[in-house]
Chains A and B, each alone.
Chain A
Amino acid sequence: MPRVVVDVMPKPEILDPQGKAVLGALPRLGFGGVTDVRQGKRFELEVEGEVTEAVLAQVREMAETLLSNPVIENFDVRVEETA
């Protein structure tokens, strides 16, 4: 079954309070060496048939329209092989 993955991340210039909270929690748990954390979303889309360029174009449209808000987020679309 082909799977298309859409990663949505807050834009670098946008403050990410959730990532900041995670970053703050790590040292308290004894994890050192992490200088920054950004928190985003991952969508896994199971699609019918082959993942053609047309399918990917449609997924990009979905990402722009619904999955992400282009004002505050960037997205990345890729195909993942599943067993």
Chain B
Amino acid sequence: MRIGVVTFPGSLDDVDARRAVRLGGHEAVALWHGDHDLRGVDAVVLPGGFSYGDYLRCGAISRFAPVMTEVVEAAGRGMPVLGICNGFQILCESHLLPGALVRNESQKFVCRDQRLRIENNRTAWTSAYAEGQEVTIVLKNGEGGFIADAETLDRLEGEGQVVARYLDGNPNGSLRDIAGITNERGNVVGLMPHPEHAVEELTGAGTDGLGFFTSALAAVEETFA
């Protein structure tokens, strides 16, 4: 299966994400922010970084990049889309996911191996995990506080749209310890921690992140079978 990884000006983790895609057993396809073209991929990853220098708001400019028109359209058709960190911010700014990410409550950039609980394993990107499974995935963000109004939070909880929650301390002030969410359909997932940095023993905190990249296969086979 072919998974596209979009590079925006200021993306940092696009190369790591492509590597994780390959380690997950797929073909990684480099996509460019300025193209109105998804090159026929089956799924898309919006990687972490500081696209457009985080000017205005994180993800606010990227949302209007030509490739995002295609991503929004494809997501509407059910294509799996995973936004990691800055990618999560872009998904919120694009209204593919509700809520917003704001500056960490501590005002400090946080970088650590983060314990998480996978709350929903029925999404396109989490089916490789068991529900309630606890994993350790690298977290690094300055504006990772997830916020939404109480009504939206209740809906996310009620519909099972909280994908992952922080354990052992909330690193950024995210409401209800939310680390990741999905849309109603379960094909679009936004995640603040970086699973692409937890796919090899040599370089990361274990390989707990790999499941996000192996899950996609099952999702697409189901959708396009």
Contacts and interface: CB of A to CB of B under 8 A. Distances in A.
B92 interface: yes
Interface string A30-72: 0000000000000000000000000000000000001101011
A69 B94 CA distance: 10
A41 to B, nearest CB: 8
Nearest to A20: B107
A14 B149 CA distance: 9
A17 interface: yes
Contact of B102 (A13, A14, A20, A66): A14
A20 B92 CA distance: 25
Contacts, number: 37
Interface residues of B, number: 20
B99 interface: yes
A72 B99 CA distance: 8
Nearest to A72: B100
B104 interface: yes
B57 A15 contact: no
Nearest to B148: A71
A15 B64 contact: no
Contacts of A72: 100, 102, 147
Contacts of A13: 149
Contacts of B102: 10, 14-15, 17, 72
A13 B152 CA distance: 14
B56 interface: yes
Contacts of A69: 57, 60, 93, 100
A13 B148 CA distance: 10
Nearest to B173: A15
A17 B107 contact: yes
Given A15-B102, A72-B102, A66 B107 contact: no
Interface of B: 56-57, 60, 64, 92-93, 98-100, 102-107, 145, 147-149, 173
Interface of A: 10, 13-15, 17-18, 20-21, 66-67, 69, 71-72
Q: Closest 7 A-B residue pairs measured CB to CB?
A: A71-B100, A72-B100, A17-B103, A17-B107, A21-B107, A17-B105, A69-B100
Given A17-B173, A21-B107, A72-B100, 17 more contacts: A13-B149, A14-B102, A14-B147, A15-B102, A15-B147, A17-B103, A17-B105, A18-B107, A66-B56, A67-B56, A69-B93, A69-B100, A71-B92, A71-B98, A71-B99, A71-B148, A72-B147
